[in-house]
Amino acid sequence: MPGALSSLKIIEVGDLVSAPYAAKLMADMGAEVIKIERPGLGDRARTRGPFPGDSPHPEKSGLFLYLNANKYGITLDIAKPEGMNLLERLAAQADVLIHNVWPPEMDRVGFSYERMRKANPRLVMTSITPYGITGPNRDWRAEELTMWGAGGVCVLNGAGADYPELPPLRTFGSQAGFQGGVHGAVATMGAVMAQLRDGEGQHVDVSVQESIASQLELTFEYWPYMGMIATRLGRKPIQPVETMRCKDGWIYVCCIEEHQWRAFVEIMGDPEWAREEIFADRVKRGENWEALKIFLEEYVSQHTVLDLYRKVQERRVPFAPVSTMGDLLNSEHLKARGFFVEIAHPVAGVYRYPGAPLKYHATPWEIRMPAPTLGQHNEEIFGRRLGLDSARMAELKRTGVI
Amino acid sequence: MATPPLEGIRVADFTWVWAGPYCTLQLAHLGADVIRIETKTRPCITRVLPPWPEGKPGGLNRSGYFNQYNQGKRSLTLNFKDPAAHEVARKLIAKSDVVTNNFAHGVMDRMGFGYEELKKIKPDIIMISLSGYGDTGPYRDYVAYGPAQVPLSGLSSLTGYKGWPPMHAGFSYADPNAGVHGAFAVLAALYHRAKTGQGQYIDMSQWECAMTLLPEGILEYTFNGREPERDGNRDPMMAPHGIFKCLDRPEKVAGNTIDQWVAIVCADDTDWGRLARAIERPELATEPKFATLASRKRNEDELEAIITQWTVSRRAADIARSLQHAGVPAAVVADNKYLSEEDAHIRARDYFVLRDHPEVGKRQHAGIPWKLGRTETSVRAAAPTIGQHTDEVLEQLLGYSADEITNLRAQGALE
């Protein structure tokens, strides 16, 4: 059985994370993705690493290799008229074009939906941009950190009321890019469903800032409902929900419901202190956290992470290990589910990577090929797909178009 | 405008709390008829959590949390202690395309709504389970709560100030992340069904879904056998790359002084030159201590102190605007009030929506983070009050008569 999206043809003009992740989600479900990179330099993810042995190499960057498996890779300079012309010809054969070209750059090179639509009226074109393609900030420069801030999530994380001088804290990695990517993939698939219904394409405008602001849980609503500002400095109203140190690592101690707390107290051997009035309910435990912490630390620190985790989970108390990368790679649960996948790349070598976010029972999620080397499929795509002869391709190469 | 992409697609939505409702919110945004199956005997926790209008709790319909993540959906109440409620649900499933849930593994089976049962009711049904640990593996029966999924995923051990313990993300990030990935999965399955006529079951683990966001951390380990060190807001390839203190908000909010911060990044030496001029220290652009990335990384504490000297006496919004004018990536580290009232950009894009709600009136809610050019994209209605659409669904969709509905209600099946 082929993948769920095996009849979908996608062109990706993607750099770093957002558009490449959207196209990856589809590629891993069988869609054909042709990824376009700048001649010479390629996708900036090629410079980001991590690199095996710490030696930077454009074909060995972990971020690039992860995001671009299952894709064909070609080089094309869309800032050159001939490059744009070739992009139009590729778009004419595709169902979807996903890109994250920065809006001022789109303007500069004349890359627009109107233009792509002329080449292919049934094309779905998705623009994933930091602030969207309209509005006063559309041309603002953006990086991961600035977007995590602009989306309203970063302000919620940090050391808390005892350390007001410490700044709001980012979340590790490329989370703004990933969220732009997956929300972009949802919107794109919506437009694809409409295309399936009536054969027409459309432009999809995805804002990374808004994708992040969609995930503020209850915190955003504190302003319109109660006139309150939510920040990292708030104290936790209920406890315990805290990271604590075990013998061999960290565990997340989590008792939200009363029955979970009672089960944990029993696991701890029903100590006398737990009967104190100041710990009688979760709100009181929040108010008296400084005192409670001392008792809990003493107990937790005598256990290993896995022992305590298994012990409390047997009583349905939702603790979790603060997993290290090694914990994840060695987890018996993840091994049994086959989460990590091995990918062999001709230059980078054979390594394990994060695998499927979802398991489909009828259609497979699968790695069919490793990420492309820069321009690896130029001949196949420009030659066989677009019918350029080798003299023409040599000419385009000489002039820096491909 | 053409009708929304998922017009005519129906979702029998057994989800609750956050991950599942965030999944079906995306489907509602795309025009699906999402019918949340709820019960007054054990209401969704988000219906009773704050915030409430003006801080006043009361009833099941006043929570801003529930009202945010259930916009545009319908609510049907069923009490599964009564067999007649099962019959109603089976009829609804027969008229649905998708069944969603985020219970722990096995709960839907025990309720009699496992995938094999659903297939008998509707052979091409698409079913998705967004459980904490997935349907297989030794921990499949473990209990997963939103906040604990962040450390479990590995994200906490990668996030934190230098030399500090692991930190959190500040929100239950694995929940909405699972929800939006789940929505994508349902859409891909709908596409497959449209092409082949075949439905299917999708097993999603919130844990695994979160790990797909951590390639830089996981690959550092598989490539080099090393755990990445926590390094605050910094980046190995860019400096400055930080969040800097600005003037506090001039107004007090709920009696508190509110601090404000700005994120500033220089992607390369050119950006650094621009920033040095913008903070009126042009000589720093060529000063050997800061002229190259390597030297800025070596002297990053001092670099950040110099920038803070400039930012600390200015307003965050003014800084973001003037640095952007100078060509430097910068943004206000936005809080809820900033997004709600002060971010002129997000307002110009009409991101927030206000819809009439019978108990909370018109409240501002986060809207749809994308715009479709040709097909209608709008939040159709405020979140439903509990059971608001029970009669409507039973009568108009499932063909129950008014008498039958009265009887069902009298026996408690519609609680």
- When CB atoms are compared, the residue of B55, B190, B243 closest to A168 is B243
CB neighbours of B116 closer than 8 A, spacing ≥ 6?
none
Rounded to a whole number of angstroms, the distance from the CA of B332 to the nearest CA of chain A is: 6
Residue A86 has a pLDDT of 98
pLDDT at A103 over 90: yes
* Partner B, chain A 120-179, Cβ-Cβ below 8 Å: 131-132, 134-138, 140-159, 164-175, 178-179
DSSP state of A363: S
Minimum Cα–Cα distance from B215: chain A residue: A63
pLDDT level of residue A19 (50, 70, 90 thresholds): very high
A29-61 residue pLDDT tens: 999 999 999 999 999 999 999 999 999 999 999
Mean pLDDT within B215-224: 98
Minimum Cα–Cα distance from A364: chain B residue: B202
Residue B335 has a pLDDT of 98
At which residue do the structure tokens 């030399």 appear? B163
Q: Which residues of B touch A213 (CB under 8 A)?
A: 339, 346, 351, 366, 369
CA atoms within 13 A on the CB side of B189: 28
Residue B105 has a pLDDT of 85
pLDDT at A237 over 90: no
Q: Is residue B248 annotated as part of the catalytic site, yes or no?
A: no
What is the overall mean pLDDT for chain A? 97
Find the angle CA(B119)-CA(B124)-CA(B126) to the nearest 5 degrees.
85
Asked if B165's CB is within 8 angstroms of A250's CB, the reply is yes
pLDDT at A341 over 90: yes
Asked if B22's CB is within 8 angstroms of A193's CB, the reply is no
**Distance from chain centroid for Cα A347:** 25
From CA A45, how far away is CA A58, in angstroms rounded? 9
Task: Confirm or reject contact between A8 and chain B (CB < 8 A).
Answer: yes
Can you spell out the DSSP letters for B72-139?
Answer: T-EEEE--TTSHHHHHHHHHHHHT-SEEEE-PPTTHHHHTT--HHHHHHH-TT-EEEEEESS-SSSTT
What is the overall mean pLDDT for chain B? 97
Minimum Cα–Cα distance from B370: chain A residue: A206
**Helix axes A175-198 and A18-27, enclosed angle (nearest 10):** 50
Asked if A149's CB is within 8 angstroms of B333's CB, the reply is yes
Best to test chain B binding among A145, A203, A235, A242 (most B CBs inside 10 Å) = A145
From CA B401, how far away is CA B403, in angstroms rounded? 5
Q: Which residues of B touch A23 (CB under 8 A)?
A: none
Best to test chain B binding among A127, A143, A353 (most B CBs inside 10 Å) = A143
Q: Which residues of A touch B180 (CB under 8 A)?
A: 179, 182-183, 186
Q: Is the CB of residue B323 less than 8 Å from the CB of residue B275?
A: yes
Question: Of these residues, B175, B268, B269, B271, which one is catalytic?
Answer: B175
pLDDT at A235 over 90: no
For residues B377 and A177, the model is more confident at A177
Residue B409 has a pLDDT of 97
Residues of chain A with pLDDT > 90, as a percent, come to 98
Task: Confirm or reject contact between A225 and chain B (CB < 8 A).
Answer: yes
* Partner B, chain A 233-262, Cβ-Cβ below 8 Å: 233, 241, 243, 245, 250, 252, 254, 256
- When CB atoms are compared, the residue of B190, B233, B369 closest to A211 is B369
Q: Which residues of B touch A211 (CB under 8 A)?
A: 369-370
From CA B271, how far away is CA B268, in angstroms rounded? 5
Identify the CA nearest to B69 among candidates B51, B49, B96, B46. Answer: B46
Asked if A328's CB is within 8 angstroms of B180's CB, the reply is no
Minimum Cα–Cα distance from B181: chain A residue: A182
Residue B376 has a pLDDT of 92
Q: Which residues of B touch A142 (CB under 8 A)?
A: 329, 331
Minimum Cα–Cα distance from B334: chain A residue: A152
Residue A400 has a pLDDT of 95
DSSP collapsed to 3 states, B183-220: HHHHHHHHHHHHHHCCCEEEEEEHHHHHHCCCHHHHHH
Minimum Cα–Cα distance from B202: chain A residue: A360
Residue A59 has a pLDDT of 98
Task: Confirm or reject contact between A199 and chain B (CB < 8 A).
Answer: no
Residue A30 has a pLDDT of 97
Task: Confirm or reject contact between A329 and chain B (CB < 8 A).
Answer: yes
Q: Is the CB of residue A224 less than 8 Å from the CB of residue B364?
A: yes
pLDDT at A6 over 90: yes
Asked if A337's CB is within 8 angstroms of B136's CB, the reply is yes
pLDDT level of residue A160 (50, 70, 90 thresholds): confident
Asked if A157's CB is within 8 angstroms of B176's CB, the reply is no
Task: Confirm or reject contact between A182 and chain B (CB < 8 A).
Answer: yes
Q: Which residues of B touch A224 (CB under 8 A)?
A: 64, 340, 363-365
pLDDT level of residue B15 (50, 70, 90 thresholds): very high
pLDDT at A234 over 90: no
Q: Which residues of A touch B172 (CB under 8 A)?
A: 217
Residue A236 has a pLDDT of 84
Residue A385 has a pLDDT of 95
At which residue do the structure tokens 């600035």 appear? A146
Residues of chain A with pLDDT > 70, as a percent, come to 100
- When CB atoms are compared, the residue of A142, A198, A325 closest to B227 is A325
Tally Cβ neighbours within 10 Å of residue A18.
31
Counting one residue from chain A and one from chain B, the pairs whose CB atoms sit within 8 A come to 504
Q: Reduced to 3 states, what is the DSSP secondary structure of residue A208? A: helix
Q: Is the CB of residue A91 less than 8 Å from the CB of residue A12?
A: no
Tell me the whole-structure pTM to 2 decimals: 0.98
Residue B33 has a pLDDT of 98
- When CB atoms are compared, the residue of B171, B219, B329 closest to A353 is B219
Asked if B133's CB is within 8 angstroms of A358's CB, the reply is no
Rounded to a whole number of angstroms, the distance from the CA of B181 to the nearest CA of chain A is: 7
Q: Which residues of A touch B264 (CB under 8 A)?
A: 146
Mean pLDDT within A155-177: 95
Residue A337 has a pLDDT of 97
- When CB atoms are compared, the residue of A132, A204, A218 closest to B65 is A218
From CA B206, how far away is CA B176, in angstroms rounded? 9
Minimum Cα–Cα distance from B354: chain A residue: A224
Q: Which residues of A touch B351 (CB under 8 A)?
A: 207, 210, 213
B289-298 residue pLDDT tens: 999 999 999 9
Asked if B241's CB is within 8 angstroms of A256's CB, the reply is no
Rounded to a whole number of angstroms, the distance from the CA of B398 to the nearest CA of chain A is: 26
How far apart, in Å, are the Cα atoms of A229 and each of A137, A168, A235, B284? 24, 14, 13, 37
Residue A231 has a pLDDT of 93
Asked if A243's CB is within 8 angstroms of B68's CB, the reply is no
Please state whether the peptide bond connecting residue B240 to the residue before it is cis, i.e. omega within 30 degrees of 0.
yes
Residue A1 has a pLDDT of 82
Mean pLDDT within B222-228: 98
Residue A161 has a pLDDT of 86
Identify the CA nearest to B346 among candidates A189, A231, A140. Answer: A140
Residue A264 has a pLDDT of 98
Q: Which residues of A touch B374 (CB under 8 A)?
A: 194, 200-203
From CA A210, how far away is CA A215, in angstroms rounded? 9
Task: Confirm or reject contact between A205 and chain B (CB < 8 A).
Answer: yes
Rounded to a whole number of angstroms, the distance from the CA of A392 to the nearest CA of chain B is: 37
Task: Confirm or reject contact between A5 and chain B (CB < 8 A).
Answer: yes
Q: Is the CB of residue A227 less than 8 Å from the CB of residue A212?
A: no
Residue B204 main-chain phi, psi, to 5 deg: -120, 135
- When CB atoms are compared, the residue of A179, A187, A256 closest to B372 is A187
B140-172 residue pLDDT tens: 999 999 999 999 999 999 999 999 999 999 999
B64-112 residue pLDDT tens: 999 999 999 999 999 999 999 999 999 999 999 999 999 888 899 999 9
Minimum Cα–Cα distance from A225: chain B residue: B53
Best to test chain B binding among A221, A258, A260 (most B CBs inside 10 Å) = A221
